[in-house]
Amino acid sequence: MYDVVIVGGGPAGSSAAMTAARGGASVIVLEKEASIAETVRTSGVTWIQNIKEFGIPEDCYNPVRNFGFVSPNNEVVIQDEEPRAAVLDVRKTYRWLARQAQDAGAEIRTGTNVTGVIKNDDGSIAGVRAGSEEFRSTMVIDASGFASVVCREMGIAGQWEHFGAGAEYEAEADTVDPGTWWLMVGEMYSPAGYAWIFPLGGNMVRIGVGVGKPESDADPRQILDSLMESRAGPIKKLGKITTKEFHYGLIPNDGLTRRTVFDNLMLVGDSAGQANPLVLEGIRYAIRFGRDAGRVAAGAIKAGRTDRDSLYKYEKDWRSQIESKINSARRIQSRWMSLSDKEWDRELDIICELEPDEFLDFIRADFGIGRMVKLAVHHPKIAVRQLFRLVR
């Protein structure tokens, strides 16, 4: 019997475990893999501002200062004065997060695949099952990512309708600029999505392709292999490439459609659909809202009330932070999904007009109202104004 059972030892689960344990709750994290981050399912791009906010150590990431964009007939690079993006060493970071949770007193049980739920007479959750083992608890946090195993077993959510599928190689390459990333757009790179090269530091890179589902039935791995073989766009600049590891993953892209608090139950991270749809990044939300969820859970346990209304503060807070931004980003995303190669060539010219901080706010979907209105009304380029009118 625990106060809080957390399903999933990804960034959301570990972060929730840390704050719940710090708040005095007895906490166990159940992770199906044999070790934390055994399988990497993410490219690990995030933002230095968030890394500092979370206290992630410096040896966990490679800073990125320049942002290259390639379309079939255009190439632009936005150069910043200081690095504001980063590519995480995913294993190191996720294991650091898990250690933080353990240091706070949470138990982490790996090799434990949650397969079912235990319910109270009133239908609310009372714990989970992993095969023949039972883990009873006052509260459950579903941090199982795309699989959303708890809410699916509870019958409160089904399969995601829209999602991204990504395939990626971690590789060593001859010629890497560790301070520059590349995003590649247009039909040849991905029929509904984009391809990328993210530098990991030294001569290491992650080269990948993401495809939007169900918009396209293309297999991202096949596209990736053919781009590597034809050495398309900036892949050519890498010289000889030696692949080291293959990554594959799925990320929800339905927007913020799910309720995230129920009696005795909270959803966080990908299982809550908390992702920026522009580049399908969710790690920073998983950590921040994971921490928030753990705090609210510990408070509710202390107060002896873990019904939906008592947990609602968590949902209200995270929605107030990102809901309108995500909705704006979805409008840009649907514009991007419909662009032809020629239109992408022109879109890059618009993006190139942005100052580095404008570009970063844009790609991070960090749309502050004042700034967006300014860009939509006063930017010297009409095309930029039109783009930001969409955001507004």
Q: Which of 212, 249, 273, 277 binds ligand FAD (CB under 6 A)?
A: 249
Least Cβ distance, residue 170 to ligand FAD (angstroms) = 12
Least Cβ distance, residue 383 to ligand FAD (angstroms) = 27
Q: Are strands 2-7 and 133-142 parallel, antiparallel or unpaired?
A: parallel
Q: Which of 114, 125, 322, 326 binds ligand FAD (CB under 6 A)?
A: 114
**Choices 246-254, 301-309, 331-339, 349-357; region in contact with ligand FAD by CB under 6 A:** 246-254
Q: Which of residues 15-44 bind ligand FAD (CB under 6 A)?
A: 30-33, 41-44
Cβ-Cβ contacts under 8 Å for 54 (sequence gap 6 or more): 284, 287, 288
Q: Which of residues 309-328 bind ligand FAD (CB under 6 A)?
A: none
Q: Which of 2, 13, 311, 344 binds ligand FAD (CB under 6 A)?
A: 13
The answer to whether residue 60 forms part of the interface with ligand FAD (CB under 6 A) is no
The answer to whether residue 254 forms part of the interface with ligand FAD (CB under 6 A) is no
Q: Which of residues 281-300 bind ligand FAD (CB under 6 A)?
A: 281-283, 286
d(CA 265, CA 4) in angstroms, rounded, equals 9
Q: Which is nearer to ligand FAD, 186 or 210 (CB)?
A: 210
Q: Which two tokens stand for residue 189?
A: 């790179």
Q: Which is nearer to ligand FAD, 45 or 297 (CB)?
A: 45
Binding string, residues 197-236; x marks residues near ligand FAD by CB under 6 A: -------------x--------------------------
Q: Which of 11, 68, 193, 273 binds ligand FAD (CB under 6 A)?
A: 11
Q: Which is nearer to ligand FAD, 126 or 286 (CB)?
A: 286
Q: Total number of residues binding ligand FAD (CB under 6 A)?
A: 40
Least Cβ distance, residue 281 to ligand FAD (angstroms) = 3
d(CA 172, CA 192) in angstroms, rounded, equals 27
The closest of 322, 246, 391, 286 to 16, measured between CA atoms, is 286
Q: Which of 21, 45, 125, 384 binds ligand FAD (CB under 6 A)?
A: 45
The closest of 318, 290, 293 to 306, measured between CA atoms, is 293
Amino acid in the structure at residue 251: I
Least Cβ distance, residue 9 to ligand FAD (angstroms) = 5
Query: What length does the chain have?
Result: 392
Least Cβ distance, residue 44 to ligand FAD (angstroms) = 5
Least Cβ distance, residue 392 to ligand FAD (angstroms) = 25
Q: Which two tokens stand for residue 13?
A: 């689960």
Amino acid in the structure at residue 382: I
Are the CB atoms for 9 and 288 separated by under 8 Å? no
Peptide bond into 214 cis (omega under 30): yes
Count the Cβ atoms, other than its own, within 10 Å of residue 236: 10
**Choices 186-194, 280-288, 307-315, 361-369; region in contact with ligand FAD by CB under 6 A:** 280-288
Q: Which is nearer to ligand FAD, 364 or 379 (CB)?
A: 364
d(CA 326, CA 156) in angstroms, rounded, equals 23
Q: Which two tokens stand for residue 4?
A: 């809080």
Binding string, residues 81-110; x marks residues near ligand FAD by CB under 6 A: ------------------------------
Least Cβ distance, residue 282 to ligand FAD (angstroms) = 2
Q: Which of 46, 71, 253, 333 binds ligand FAD (CB under 6 A)?
A: 46
The answer to whether residue 142 forms part of the interface with ligand FAD (CB under 6 A) is no
Residues that bind ligand FAD (CB under 6 A): 7-13, 30-33, 41-46, 113-114, 143-147, 149, 166, 168, 210, 249-251, 269-271, 275, 280-283, 286
